[in-house]
Amino acid sequence: MSAPQASRPPLCVLLLPRTLESFIQREQAEDLLRAPGVIAVDPPRLRFGAVARMPAALGDAVAARQARRLLGELRAQGDPRVFVIFHPVQYPLARALLAQCPGAELWYSRWDRYELAYDASEATRARLAELHELAAERATITYAVSEPLVEQEREAGREAILMTTPADRFPAPEPGETVVAVSLGHLGWRTDWSLLRSTAEALGDRLVLFLVGAWHEEECAGDPDFLACRNHPSLVWLGPLDDEAAARVILASDVGIVPFRVEPFNDAGLPNRILKYARLGRMTVSPELAGVKTWARAVRTAGTAGQFAELLAGYAGARARPDLELREWALAQTARRQNRPLWDRLDELSIARDS
């Protein structure tokens, strides 16, 4: 006498509208997938939206073929008891699956007003509204992300569970310990990428560095420190911005930096960005460059990468308490004031009279 056939394990099947990596409800799906009986299925080759836009009879026939093919794969793993859909365009496939799995449940996630989509035609909106009604009527469980969506189901005489969306995968650095720095200007061969890499690695989640300006990959080709900086999450590459936008980024920052290499080309210069930071009440942190000390009121210098990171960390939260005396000093550094010796000589030569 042959041994009785072992019963197949029950399955809950998440019918993903996108691959898991690009799915907007990825966190919820990943949480459910911790259960051994929950599995996820990627969308079919012929997408859900294309099937939903077909004439109803043709769409149902395509969905039935998709369902037979999918069930062949699922039944090798277990007995499907629950199918979960996340958009009404998935209902034709879900309906075909349910027809071949008597007693199975449908769960329906309602996270948007799909039938009012901006990019949908009137005909598509009507079809989405129809599919939504069919899915919501058939579902054993409908769960929605907001109170208005739950209320709409109640007004239609149906029950829905309020289940707001999580953001488990979204980074959450400690805001009270984070320093927000900004670098304004050229990002290429004069930039000390080793310094920035060491600083980012030392501070980790405690650093946000806005890089405002064009970066020149052709000047840094093959530099492993540059490549590490390009990929480090603490460095936010904003590209070139006009002055109005750049000023707003500085306002959102605690401190400015001059990330130049310590070498003769950079040593004697006076980066104008220091004054721009100071006009908004932000100090500058710089390597030990001789020229920057011309504006010693606005700059603190560091001799090592470790000291540079330490100085930056000390400015965490400074954006909420800008240095107004520094700002007053910077606003006084006008072109007329700096040109005073030239104006005096123009006056002596009777070329111009200073008004």
How far apart are the two ends of the chain, measured CA to CA in Å? 114
Confidence at residue 239, expressed as pLDDT on a 0 to 100 scale: 97
Give the predicted TM-score (pTM) of the model: 0.79
> Which CATH number among 2.40.50.100, 3.40.50.10810, 3.40.50.150, 3.40.50.2000 corresponds to the domain 10-162?
3.40.50.2000
Evaluate whether 10-162 and 175-337 have a shared fold.
yes
Domain boundaries, the chain: 10-162, 175-337
What is the model's pLDDT at position 4?
Answer: 46
296: left (phi over 0), alpha (psi -120 to 50) or beta: alpha
Write out the chain's pLDDT in tens, 355 residues.
444 445 889 999 999 999 999 998 999 999 999 999 999 999 998 888 888 889 989 998 999 999 999 999 999 999 999 999 999 999 999 999 999 999 999 999 999 888 888 888 888 899 999 999 999 999 999 999 999 999 999 999 999 999 999 999 888 888 888 999 999 998 999 999 999 999 999 999 999 999 999 999 999 988 999 999 999 999 999 999 999 999 999 999 999 999 999 999 999 999 999 999 999 999 999 999 999 999 999 999 999 999 999 999 999 999 999 999 999 999 999 999 999 999 899 989 989 876 5
* pLDDT in the model for residue 6: 58
CATH domain 175-337 topology: Rossmann fold (3.40.50)
Nearest C-alpha neighbor of 246 from the set 182, 188, 196, 324: 182
3-state secondary structure the chain: CCCCCCCCCEEEEEECCCCHHHCCCHHHHHHHCCCCCEEEECCCCCCHHHHHCCCHHHHHHHHHHHHHHHHHHHCCCCEEEEEEECCHHHHHHHHHHHHCCCCCEEEEEECCCHHHCCCCCHHHHHHHHHHHHHHHHHCCEEEECCHHHHHHHHHCCCCCEECCCCCCCCCCCCHHHCEEEEEECCECCCECHHHHHHHHHHHHHHEEEEEECCECHHHCCCCHHHHHHHHCCCEEEEECCCHHHHHHHHHCCCEEECCECCCHHHHCCCCCHHHHHHHCCCCEEEECCCHHHHHHHHEEEECCHHHHHHHHHCCCCHHHCCCHHHHHHHHCCCHHHHCHHHHHHHHHCCCCCCC
Separation between Cα atoms, residue 183 and residue 215, nearest integer Å: 12
Q: Burial letters for 125-164: b for 16+ Cβ neighbours within 10 Å, e otherwise?
A: eebbeebbebbbebbeebbbbbeebbebbeeeeeebeebe
